[in-house]
Amino acid sequence: MPSTADALTTELRASFKGPITTPQDPWYEEVRAVWNGMVERRPAIIARCTDAEDVAAAVAFGRTHDLAPSVRGGGHNVAGRALSTGGLTIDLSLMRDVTVDPARQLVRAQGGCRLADVDAATARHGLAVPAGIVSETGIAGLTLGGGGGWLSRTYAMSCDNLQSVELVTADGQTIDASDENHPDLMWGLRGGGGNFGVVTEFRFRAHDLPPELLVGMGVYRADDTAEALLDWTERYPDLPEVLSTHAILKQALPALPFVPPELHGRRGLLIVALYVGDRSDKAAEPLIDTVLSAGKPCARTATTMPFAFGIQRFIDADFAPGARYYTKEAHINELPEAAIGRLVEGWHELDMDGEIEIMGMGGAVARIPKDATAFANRHHLWWFNFAMKWQDPAQDASNIGRIRAVHDSLKPWLGTGIYANMLNFDETDRVVDAYGGPENYQRLGRVKATYDPSNFFRINANIIPVPGA
Ligand SMILES: Cc1cc2nc3c(=O)[nH]c(=O)nc-3n(C[C@H](O)[C@H](O)[C@H](O)COP(=O)(O)OP(=O)(O)OC[C@H]3O[C@@H](n4cnc5c(N)ncnc54)[C@H](O)[C@@H]3O)c2cc1C
């Protein structure tokens, strides 16, 4: 950033309505902060947009001054890709309106929405859009990279339910993209990340969802975890799509009423099973029972919970913003006994806070052909993720080293699938895998060359434009 920062800011103010924040402002740190407290990136200008016009003005300003911007939706990207280092950040966090058309089951969400905004608006109409599992996550980054969570086995990914968008392109135009209008771009936006422009509005198809869902939880002692995981993975392929289940190896079991008091704060396994349908369906309770009778649970419970204000907020407290987070993700199809044995050993080697998640996928996600959307890594049964955290910066290097070592020791079983949205700062060599392999990546490169030939939007899991496309 040149030393003329003040002059640049003054120039931007002439065309931009929203607040502009620079390091001189006393509130800069608050505005700059993203979810992961380990992220040190410090933009010179944070332009907080109020509408699509502001986004277009910020893009035009960036072009004029050759400032490739970062784009911030919810600020949840683990590697801090929402923030520029010393340059321009186009921040949509003030753009969080959601409107629901219940008759058409259509949801419009502005580009800075969090999942909580969308869930709260849709719940009023008995609807839901499939998204992630932590309510503070941004709908923008999540959807553009794929978007998987509790409803995915039944209703597929967020990107599969995306019908159209309003987008500001690298040359400053505001366009609509859908399957009819710019179909190549629409294909790329369903999984190709923030590579093609700034999305100012997402339009989703929503699904009917009962006000309360049946959810079951099983608690397992650390010593019983390997047996339970093996049993759970064996039962998993036969489960119907209406059943969603995750296994979570917790470093410290929560002090919830169904967890035996002697296990509060101790290492243990939680298996969660959700019936994504009417709780009075005949199949609901037996299916939950099938999942929770895996292995030897020391406690189990089944209850009903609202989706938006219950299930979608269930693990929020464990992922509060500001801690130092390091994640490492992989997609898997098999967890044989040897892999589970190593996983459980590795779990004991990690003495920091957090969890290892095995999120159940497959179902509706896997039924969509690989080439139908840019999100191509869809034929895996599970997303496997180390989500670890601590507070002390002095522990960064050793904790990261230990997580990597455990992850590396599992490599024989991990394969190549990885989620673009979870690519960490040290995984830039995995971008092609994250976008589904060389063929899919090349196709994305051709779309990139059409809509952003100079790679203006490059502070992301970047796709290089394919020349001559
Ligand atoms: C605690 C936690 C839980 C998570 N759980 C899930 C989960 O259950 N399922 C899942 O699928 N993912 C999950 N993720 C990953 C999540 O999808 C990514 O972190 C995603 O990047 C978050 O989106 P965001 O808008 O908050 O990102 P930001 O950090 O704001 O931005 C990340 C990138 O997204 C792009 N971007 C953001 N906004 C826009 C926009 N309006 N237009 C164009 N590009 C934009 C930019 O390229 C930017 O670099 C989780 C992440 C965290 C931290």
For 201-245, how does the pLDDT look when each residue is reduced to its tens digit (9 = 90+)? 999 999 999 999 999 999 999 999 999 999 999 999 999 999 999
pLDDT band at 182 (very low <50, low <70, confident <90, very high): very high
CB 156 within 8 A of CB 365: yes
* Dihedral in degrees, nearest 10, Cα atoms 395, 38, 144, 334: 0
Report the 10 Å Cβ neighbour count for 411: 9
Mean confidence (pLDDT) of the chain: 96
Q: Kindly state the DSSP code that residue 285 receives in the 8-state scheme.
A: H
Number of H helices, E strands in the chain: 14, 18
Element (H, E) at 118: helix 115-123
Local confidence band at 467 (pLDDT 50, 70, 90 cut-offs): confident
**N-terminal to C-terminal alpha carbon distance within the chain:** 32
Is the pLDDT assigned to residue 22 strictly greater than 50?
Answer: yes
Give the H or E element holding residue 374. Answer: none
| Eight-state DSSP code of residue 114 | B
- What was the pLDDT predicted at 468? 67
- Ligand 1 site residues, Cβ closer than 6 angstroms: 35, 70-78, 81-82, 92, 111, 132-134, 137-138, 140-142, 144-149, 193-194, 198-199, 319, 421-422, 459-460
Q: How confident is the model at residue 324 (pLDDT cuts 50, 70, 90)?
A: very high
Give residue 72 CA to ligand 1 midpoint distance, Å: 9
Query: Mean per-residue pLDDT for 145-163?
Result: 98
pLDDT greater than 50 at residue 2: no
Q: What pLDDT does 416 receive? A: 80
pTM: 0.97
Q: Which of 54, 421, 435, 452 to mutate to test the pocket of ligand 1 (most atoms within 8 A of CB)?
A: 421
Encode burial over 188-215: b for 16+ CB neighbours within 10 A, e otherwise. bbbbbbbbbbbbbbbbbbbbebbeebbb
**DSSP readout, 45-88?**
EEEE-SSHHHHHHHHHHHHHTT-PPEEESSS--TT-TTS-SSSE
Interval between CA 330 and ligand 1 midpoint (Å): 17
Listed in sequence order, the DSSP H helices in 177-255 are 183-189, 225-235
Q: What is the mean predicted confidence (pLDDT) over 379-398?
A: 96
How far apart CA 289 and CA 132 sit, in angstroms, is 24
So what's the pLDDT on residue 7? 85
pLDDT in tens, 262-277: 999 999 999 999 999 9
Q: Specify the residue with its C-alpha closest to ligand 1, atom 45.
A: 194
